[in-house]
Structure formats: C-alpha cells, structure tokens
C-alpha cells in the first residue's frame, strides 16, 4: 500500500513548482523528506542515479549565497543534469525586462528554474509566467528548501518527527515562516519567541494554525525565550538581521539582547536537545560559541542535507 501511495505521489509532483511548503500536502512533504534520505543513501554508497540526465536547471541569484548555489549546482550534477548560474545583474531582468518575459524565454531553454531573491511576489510572478517548474531558493518571506533539509536532519537524528517540539528563538523572519509551516505539515509542535515588533507574519501564523489543526500540531507564539524553549527537542535560531536588513543591525542588537541561545537558556530544553542554525551564524550574537560548537549542535548536518533535500525536490518535480 505504501509503495502504491509513493508511486501516486511521484506522479502528482511531476511538473509542480516548489514555492512554499504551504502548497504541499503533509504526505507530499514527508515523501520529499524520505526521498532525500534515499538519495543521500545512494550517493554515500557511490550508486549512480541520473534521473535528470540531459536536463538543465537555470539558477537566478539576486541574493548572495554559499549553501544554495553550491548544493543546487552539485545536486544537479549528481542527478545527471547541468546547472547554469544566472546573476540577476547579468540577465536582462536587471535592465527592465519583465519577469513574465524572462520566464517565457527561459522556459524555451531550460527544464527548471531556481531563484534566490528578495520579494516573494517575484517568485510567484516567475512561476506564473514559466511553463517549467520553479523552485524558491529563498525570498524575504520563506525558505522552504532549508526547512525541508532541516526536518530531514531532525528525522535522521531523532528517528521520528511527529510529536517532537521545536523552539525557535529570535527574529520572526523567512526561516521561521517555513519552519512553522513544515512543523504543521509534519505533526510537530513549535514554539516561537520574538521581541515585540519582530513577530512572524500574522497571515502566515493563521494559515499555519489551520494546517496544524489537521495534523494535531500545536503552534505557540510568545515573548519569553524560556517559555518557548521549555522541554524542546530542537532549538533553532537565525541571525538577528537577515539579508536586506543590515541597516537595522544596531537596533536589532538592542531588541534581541535577551534572545541569545546560550548555555543558560539551553537548560530549559530537554537534556538531549538538538541545536540548529541555517547559517551563516554570528557567534556571540544570536548564539554562544558553547552552543553552536558544542555537543548539541548539528548545524553542519543541516548544511549537508541542503544537497540531498534539493536533489529530492529536483528529481521529483523536474
């Protein structure tokens, strides 16, 4: 029965865009995670698997990147295809060509598009104009590829996802938006602690809670980091000033002064909690060195799994 379900899910995912986890059913999200683990096993065992042989992914970057560019480019190669780096400054889109026209033209050349940009509406408009699958590599509103890799990492370390509690401490940014939706889809509980004025988007919280009601997840938003982290299985944080908000760095350092994930705060979590960070990290700001470089940290497992999760996405939809 499970094999038949997986075969049907594989059919359903072909040709789809991957813009946000909200667009995917719980069983589809879990299918992609399981596929990522399977592809990781193949790669570790040295097995050749080229489902995308002869296909090309165009990668549009309007934001700088380490993990996104390298993992997509290497992942496409390992799947038998080719990845093409397209700087936003080099494309005609940087000189005023419409997103629609760009999408139409690229669709005539490529088999898929990954874009890492600022406004989420750019990704939506690109997907509307394209006749090939579009992958959201990051926007100011969401980071679904990272969240998928994160939950793959949790599953590998904990052996399950359902019923686990993830605590997020810090800025209510694109990362927490995708983590919230992922938790709701996967039957996990999630608590978020942010300073006043830095909460996650209200509409995203509303939609997340709707999804959580279907899977039995509990979603909690609060101010107190100790309240959020209490009995957490996973503790997560991100930089206080994401890309595009660097000018607010000093103000944010003041606002987030009590939101550092450190050894003292970690005492409120479960003794075997996992620490996660999407990187890059600022040691001594959002997280202490003792936590990020300590026994609880799995940050580099997360980083590695960007490769495998994105391979799963590409293999499934392209």
Q: Is 277 annotated as ligand-binding?
A: no
Q: Is 3 annotated as ligand-binding?
A: no
Q: Is 116 annotated as ligand-binding?
A: yes
Residue tagged active-site, from 150, 238, 277, 302: 238
Catalytic-residue membership of 116: yes
Residue tagged active-site, from 16, 120, 252, 306: 306
Q: Is 178 annotated as ligand-binding?
A: no
Q: Is 282 annotated as ligand-binding?
A: no
Q: Is 152 annotated as ligand-binding?
A: no
Catalytic-residue membership of 143: yes
Q: Is 65 annotated as ligand-binding?
A: yes
Q: Is 189 annotated as ligand-binding?
A: no
Residue tagged active-site, from 16, 78, 278, 296: 278
Catalytic-residue membership of 258: no
Residue tagged active-site, from 16, 30, 116, 120: 116
Q: Is 243 annotated as ligand-binding?
A: yes
Catalytic-residue membership of 238: yes
Query: 10 Å Cβ neighbour count for 267?
Result: 10
Q: Is 26 annotated as ligand-binding?
A: no
Catalytic-residue membership of 278: yes
Q: Is 252 annotated as ligand-binding?
A: no
Residue tagged active-site, from 78, 146, 152, 310: 146
Catalytic-residue membership of 82: no
Which residues line the annotated binding site for L-ornithine?
174, 238, 242-243
Residue positions forming the annotated binding site for carbamoyl phosphate: 65-68, 92, 116, 143-146, 278-279, 306
Q: Where in the sequence numbering do the catalytic residues fall?
A: 116, 143, 146, 238, 278, 306
Q: Which residues are known binding-site members?
A: 65-68, 92, 116, 143-146, 174, 238, 242-243, 278-279, 306
């Amino acid at each position: 029965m499970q094999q038949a379900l997986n075969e049907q899910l594989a059919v359903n995912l072909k040709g789809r865009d991957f813009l946000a986890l909200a667009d995917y059913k719980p069983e589809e999200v879990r299918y992609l995670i399981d596929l990522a683990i399977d592809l990781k096993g193949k790669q570790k065992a040295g097995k050749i698997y080229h489902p995308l042989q002869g296909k090309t992914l165009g990668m549009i970057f309007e934001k700088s990147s380490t993990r996104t560019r390298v993992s997509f480019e290497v992942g496409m190669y390992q799947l038998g295809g080719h990845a093409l780096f397209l700087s936003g400054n080099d494309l005609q889109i940087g000189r005023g060509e419409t997103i629609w026209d760009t999408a139409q033209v690229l669709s005539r050349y490529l088999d898929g598009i990954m874009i890492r940009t600022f406004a989420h509406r750019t990704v939506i408009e690109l997907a509307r104009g394209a006749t090939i699958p579009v992958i959201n590599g990051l926007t100011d509103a969401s980071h679904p590829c990272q969240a998928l890799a994160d939950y793959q990492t949790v599953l590998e370390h904990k052996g399950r996802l359902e019923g686990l509690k993830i605590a997020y401490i810090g800025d209510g940014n694109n990362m927490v938006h995708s983590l919230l939706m992922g938790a709701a889809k996967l039957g996990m509980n999630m608590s978020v602690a942010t300073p006043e004025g830095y909460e996650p988007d209200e509409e995203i919280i509303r939609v997340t809670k709707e999804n959580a009601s279907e899977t039995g997840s509990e979603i909690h938003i609060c101010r107190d980091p100790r309240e959020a982290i209490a009995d957490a299985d996973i503790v997560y944080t991100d930089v206080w000033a994401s890309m595009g908000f660097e000018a607010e760095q000093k103000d944010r350092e003041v606002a987030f002064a009590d939101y550092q994930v450190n050894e003292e705060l970690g005492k409120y979590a479960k003794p075997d909690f996992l620490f996660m960070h999407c990187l890059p990290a600022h040691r001594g700001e959002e997280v202490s060195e003792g936590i990020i470089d300590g026994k609880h940290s799995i940050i580099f497992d997360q980083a590695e799994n960007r490769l495998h999760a994105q391979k799963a996405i590409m293999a499934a939809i392209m």
